Amino acid sequence: MTRGYGRDPVGSPACDNVARAPHAFQLVVPSPRVPAVLTMPPSLEARQLTRRFGTFTALDHLTLKVEGTKCVGFLGPNGAGKTTTLKMFTDLIFPTEGEAFVNGISVQQDRRRALSSCGALIETPEIYGSLTPREALQLVGAVRGMSAADVRERTDRVLEQVKMTEWANQKVGRFSKGMKQRINIASTLLSDPDVVLLDEPSTGLDPRGVAEVRSIIRGLKGEGRLIFFSSHILSEVIDVCDEVILINRGKLLFYDTLANVNARLGSGATSVDAEFLRPIADADVARSIASLAGVTAWSRLDERRVTLTIQGGPEKRAEILQGVAGLGLGLVGFHESRSALEDVYLQEITTGES
């Protein structure tokens, strides 16, 4: 059963069984980069998308429409069906049933047109080792019909975005996995596509690279396009996404805005890890910290860290932080141990599996 955590997203009989974010029905004002001829916003749609591998159903009648210029996180545990879905959106694998649409064009019926304004990064592609990044991007630009001048200009720009300018003329075959992934991201963005599909784009990147990818995605959000990216890293999704879709075992569990997910749990209990400079005795915790208003339970992580269960929203957390800091116990860290999304994620996955 598909459901949203905000108001009921299914607003018209014609849209029964179609999971949409609440604001999908609102008028979407095209961004400045969308030409006037395109009166509708970029979109991705799955209609009864199903994929079976023998007796195993990797994706089970997924029906979903994502529309507008925003960033949507596609979440699920390993094996949930995320990559399978994205591969069907790019015609890398074929559906057993159903159809995938990019900007309203069926990928299965006309892959060229459907993918013409879509940049996709699926898994970790390899680029011909003897080509340089510049040449590989020239190939992408040529296939997409970009002019030589556009290719040059965009190549410089996207290589700068992924911090690979100084490697532009080196052969890709000598690159590390992380460097190749940066070039893959560059190739995805080269044609300035309206729809960007990213399948766990941080794979293979070092921590700095991961942070840079997030920064790139945040930058893309400001450029008025639909970004759809799969991940199993919740913090990544929280960091960059406006909306989130959760699937597990090939089934859609929910699709909603992050704001709605947070609002739903914002007034409930949250867990916070408090870290102290020195070991802290149980007696001190029980006497001083646990007695603060709003702290309903506590447990020890180790001799210097405790997890507090807090009833209330951000204001209550701020109040408790002030209270703990004022106790003079040497507080050095105070952060949420689980986000609202993580709570929903665990709850939905657990419910689904039971």
Partner 1 sequence: MSASSGGLADEPHVALGTMPGPVEQAFLMSRYQFRDYLRAQRFILMLAIVGAILAILLALVGHYPPPALIANGNAFFGSLWVGGSEILIIFAGIIFGGDSIAGEFQNKTGYFLMGLPIKRWSVYAGKYLAAYAASLVTILVYFVVLVGAGLYFVGSGAITTGLLGSVGLAALYLAALLGTTFLFSSMFKQSLYGVIIVAVMFLFGFAIVVDLIEGLVGITPWFIITWANVVIAYPLTGVPAGAGELIRNVALLPTLAQGIAVMFGYFLFTTLGGLALFGREEFT
Q: Using an 8 Å Cβ cutoff, are 252 and 62 in contact?
A: yes
Is residue 146 a contact residue for partner 1 (CB under 8 A)? yes
Of residues 142, 286, 318, 346, which one binds partner 1 by CB under 8 A? 142
Does an H or E element contain 101, and which? Answer: strand 97-102
- Residue number with CB closer to partner 1 (130 or 354): 130
List 10, 61, 135, 334, residue binding partner 1 (CB under 8 A): 135
Q: Which range binds partner 1 by CB under 8 A, 69-77, 104-112, 243-251, 300-308?
A: 104-112
Q: Closest approach of Cβ 249 to partner 1, in Å?
A: 18
Q: Could you say which of 117, 231, 248, 339 contacts partner 1 (CB under 8 A)?
A: 117
For residue 90, CA distances in Å to 94, 176, 197, 234 come to: 9, 26, 9, 24
Among 110, 160, 282, 303, binds partner 1 (CB under 8 A): 110
Binding to partner 1 by CB under 8 A, coded x per residue (else -) over 181-210, reads ---x--xx--xxxx----------------
Q: Which residues contact 139 (CB under 8 A, 6 or more apart)?
A: 131
SS3 category, 219: helix
CB of 236 to partner 1, least distance (A): 21
Contact 115, 91 (CB under 8 A): yes
Query: How far apart are CB 9 and partner 1 at their closest, in Å?
Result: 17
Q: How many whole angstroms separate alpha carbon 189 and alpha carbon 216? A: 10
Q: Nearest 5°: phi and psi at 130?
A: -85, -10
Cβ of residue 308: shortest distance to partner 1, in angstroms? 46
CB of 141 to partner 1, least distance (A): 7
- Which distant-in-sequence residues (6+ apart) come within 8 Å of 114 by Cβ? 91, 101, 102, 103, 105, 106, 107
Examine residue 215 and tell whether it contacts partner 1 (CB under 8 A): no
CA–CA separation, 342 and 76 (whole Å):
11
- DSSP run (H or E) holding 243: strand 243-248
Q: Which of residues 156-175 bind partner 1 (CB under 8 A)?
A: 171
Give me the residues that bind partner 1 (CB under 8 A), please: 34-35, 37-40, 42-43, 45, 47, 53, 87, 90-94, 99, 101, 103-106, 109-131, 135-136, 138-147, 150, 154, 171, 184, 187-188, 191-194
